[in-house]
Amino acid sequence: MDLRFTPEQDAFRAEVRAWLEANVPSEAKGTGPLPSLDTAEGFAAHRVWEQAMFDARLSVVSWPEEFGGRGAGLLEWLIFEEEYYRAQAPTRVGQNGIFLLAPTIFEFGTPEQQARYLPAMASAREVWCQGWSEPDAGSDLAGIRSRATRKGPEGEGGSWVLSGQKTWASRGAFADWCFGLFRTDPTAERHRGMTYFLIPMDAPGVTVRPIAQLDGETGFAEIFFEDVEVPDDQVLGEVGKGWSVAMATTNSERGLSLRSPARFTEAAGRLLALYAEQALLDPVAAGRSADAVARAAMDAEAYQLNTYWTVTRVLGGTPVGPEASMNKLHWSETDLAIHRCALDLLGPEAELLDADGRPGPWLDGFLFALAGPIYAGTNEIQRNVVAERVLGLPRS
């Protein structure tokens, strides 16, 4: 065991830090903060930022060089993330593609698909949204009803015609592409007969209806498919194997990649600073939150330690299994605890909106944290997975 980074890793950290300090849009530089991601203007501004990171080869450090990465390891990826959050850099507009779809393309995509989709994703020239949930298929994802029917010859050169409805697709309002599951064999048993499709959002027959979230902004969308024709080379993995292809992405969503520990350690650092400030103003009131602050800070650090523990195992060749569900439970609860605690410290100020009518950072973070126990498989579903697949309890 050695919990220190190597000199090469320290040098990488220094490079990332210096680049971010020079480039992160900020008020001081007169370049930021960027407008909200959930507006056309903000979406465009976030693309420009991603392109700048891509040009510095920092947008996907752990990807192979041929797709725009640096071929760096998981530890370097964690270092990058720590620096990214430390620098308070913009939310990553391309994250659903980079973190949820890319691992699947690496595993199941043809070389042509990898070359076609990955570099464009890494530079945010093409931003992806995830089209899994449907009005009647949430936790029970295998209950999806959107269909794809065969058109043209079997084998090469044919296409599929998609119809149905997806919902809650994050970034769906402005995304360029959608990855989603559709039923290709309506007669098959429910976990079979699904296929994983890549669909351009400007294809004829695609209609998007943005949905306002708790903060009033259109962070997700419904997507309607009316006879949308999709060629064979936009099928990811085998026809009929969509479920197992899709499950590969859920593991990365819950486990290592979607929620890197830096997000929580950075928020915990801000919570400590807030506590220190409030303790100067009113030590008695702040003192009542002391234990909650300590717990929240410890939970964030424990998540970081657990991630290093897991990454060491993964680097040693052991894949992340159902314990990814434990990570999801821990980070989502931690995120809520940090933000709830900050609002308590702010007291009567907590409810107040900014001058422009927007929630301030803590309220905004709280609203976002509230979604954590719902998306990426609800926490109830995760507890079922932990109980059945880790502890071996009998299925209900």
Ligand X SMILES: Cc1cc2nc3c(=O)[nH]c(=O)nc-3n(C[C@H](O)[C@H](O)[C@H](O)COP(=O)(O)OP(=O)(O)OC[C@H]3O[C@@H](n4cnc5c(N)ncnc54)[C@H](O)[C@@H]3O)c2cc1C
Distance CA 213, CA 218 (A): 6
Is residue 178 classed as helix, strand or coil in its secondary structure? strand
Q: Known catalytic residue: 253?
A: yes
The one segment of 109-117, 164-172, 267-275, 283-291 that binds ligand X by CB under 6 A: 164-172
378 touching ligand X, by CB under 6 A: yes
Binding mask 267-306 for ligand X (x = CB under 6 A): ----------------------------------------
CA torsion sign, 315 to 319 to 323 to 324?
A: positive
Which partner in other proteins, ligand X, none is near 138 (CB below 5 to 8 A by kind)?
A: ligand X
Residue 139 interacting with ligand X (CB under 6 A): yes
In the complex, minimum distance from the CB of residue 380 to ligand X, in angstroms, rounded to a whole number: 3
**Per the residue annotation, which of 253, 277, 333, 380 is the catalytic one?**
253
Q: Does 371 bind ligand X (CB under 6 A)?
A: yes
Question: How far is Cα 127 from Cα 83, in angstroms, rounded to an integer?
Answer: 23
Least distance CB 196 / ligand X (angstroms): 13
Q: In a 3-state reduction of DSSP, which class is residue 78?
A: helix
Scan residues 243-272 and list those touching other proteins (CB under 8 A). 269, 272
- Extract the tokens encoding 323: 């314990």
- For residue 104, state whether it binds ligand X (rule: CB under 6 A): no
Q: Does 392 bind other proteins (CB under 8 A)?
A: yes
Nearer to ligand X by Cβ, of 168 and 303: the residue is 168
Q: Which is nearer to ligand X, 133 or 195 (CB)?
A: 133
CA atoms within 13 A on the CB side of 71: 3
**β-pairing verdict for 147-151 and 194-200:** unpaired
Count of residues in the chain: 396
* DSSP label of 357: S
Q: Quote the longest CA-to-CA distance of the chain.
A: 75
> Sign of dihedral through CA atoms 318, 320, 321, 322?
positive
**Which positions ≥6 away from 394 have C-beta within 8 Å?**
388
Structural element, H or E, at residue 63:
none
Among 130, 289, 304, 327, binds ligand X (CB under 6 A): 130
Cβ atoms 225, 163 nearer than 8 A: yes
Q: Is 313 in the site for other proteins (CB under 8 A)?
A: yes
How many positions of this chain bind other proteins (CB under 8 A)? 50
- Please give the positions annotated as active site: 253
Q: Provide the binding-site residues for other proteins, judged by CB under 8 A.
A: 1-6, 9, 75, 269, 272-273, 275-276, 290-291, 293-295, 297-299, 301-303, 305-306, 308-309, 311-313, 316, 323, 326, 329-330, 380, 382-384, 386-388, 390-396
